[in-house]
Amino acid sequence: MSIIEKAAGKLEQRTAAPAAPELKGIDLVQESAPVPPDGVPRPLPPSEDPFSEAPAEQKTAEASTPLFSKIDLERLRHLNIVTPSGEYSLTAEEFRMIKRPLLNNAFSGEKKLKNSNLIMVTSALPGDGKSFCALNLAISIAMEMDRTVLLVDADVSKPSQMKLLGIQAELGLLDLIRNPGLPLSEVLIKTSIANLTLLPAGKSTRNATELLASEAMAHLLDDLSGRYPDRLILFDSPPLLVTTESSVLSTHMGQVVMVVDAASTTQPALRSALTLVQHCGYVGLIINRASPHLSIGGYGYGYGYGYGYGQQA
């Protein structure tokens, strides 16, 4: 039985999840970091930005001052999102398990996947929790000792990552595609969470699909993947069955993570969505809002978050 059939079969036992508990932890963000009162990112003093567009010796004064935003960790805890507090939480433990195959595929897989450090997080339909999972996954990976993460809000029609993080941003991914001369340092936002950088969606446009399918987008992704082979670039993409942007985006991805709502995603919807990403080298499944007995391998947790993972045949 294929992984698709196994994952889809478990949806017959779907059930709604209990409310997630409030998590408490220790804020390890340096208090000296600037705190934008209005949520608008501010220029960061000159530093070595791991996602800047040029080597340090080639940076101009302007390019060496990327935007910076402090993340409200208490806000994230109330949203049941992983924080780098070092305190044990069920969410943190689950995403530690979920991220490991992705890291292995990207950096130590026996068979190297093309663009293995480009990972798309998506779902079949809206409301399955893919943005929640993308943010948790990004922060969890950023907590690795020797990895950095670029989280791209690629759901350009309905972006949500900046809203989740309480950040205001105008320029982003679409602006980089429309204007290839725009420096990355004027768009990327470094955060007070160590090793986590953000790329907002950018100014909306009616031809978003065409932009994502353009040569400029292909060059941008090849550049990001090739220039930073030791870093993961995570894309929060639109649902597969309601837009065409994610299907286009998936053609550039080395790995895809499909979020499945155990309480609402139907088997036909899941199968239809998986056919749209079957060309990808590796496809993972996260079963969201699952009760403990639905978790694969028996590793369920009380508040109902389980996961499944496997290679697409």
Could you say which DSSP state residue 32 is in? T
CB 218, CB 189: distance < 8 Å: no
- Whole-model pTM: value is 0.76
Q: Is 120 helix (H, G, I), strand (E, B) or coil?
A: strand
CA distances from 202 to 4, 35, 93, 175, 197 (A): 34, 23, 32, 6, 15
CB 212, CB 179: distance < 8 Å: no
Cα–Cα distance, 290 to 39 (Å, whole number): 34
236 token code pair: 């929060």
The CATH code that applies to domain 3-13+72-309 is: 3.40.50.300
CA distances from 286 to 7, 10, 258 (A): 9, 12, 6
| CA contacts within 13 A on the Cβ side of 47 | 11
CB 253, CB 280: distance < 8 Å: yes
Cα–Cα distance, 160 to 71 (Å, whole number): 15
**Would you state the pLDDT for residue 26?**
32
**Would you state the pLDDT for residue 290?**
82
**Would you state the pLDDT for residue 86?**
66
Give the strand pairing for 118-123 and 149-153: unpaired
Q: Is 214 helix (H, G, I), strand (E, B) or coil?
A: coil
Q: Is 310 exposed, middle or buried (0-12, 13-18, 19+ CB in 10 A)?
A: middle
**Would you state the pLDDT for residue 308?**
39
CB 293, CB 300: distance < 8 Å: yes
Could you say which DSSP state residue 113 is in? P
**Would you state the pLDDT for residue 173?**
96
Cα–Cα distance, 112 to 158 (Å, whole number): 33
Could you say which DSSP state residue 85 is in? T
Query: Which residues are registered as beta bridge partners of 308?
Result: 285
Tens-level pLDDT at each residue, the chain (313 residues): 555 555 555 555 544 444 444 333 333 333 334 445 566 676 655 444 445 444 444 443 334 456 999 999 999 999 999 999 867 888 899 999 999 999 999 988 666 788 899 999 999 999 999 999 999 999 999 999 889 999 999 999 999 999 999 999 999 999 999 998 999 889 999 999 999 999 999 998 889 999 999 999 999 988 887 777 678 999 999 999 999 999 999 999 999 999 999 999 999 999 999 999 999 989 999 999 887 655 444 333 323 333 333 443 2
Compute CA 65 distance to the chain's CA centroid, rounded to the nearest angstrom.
24
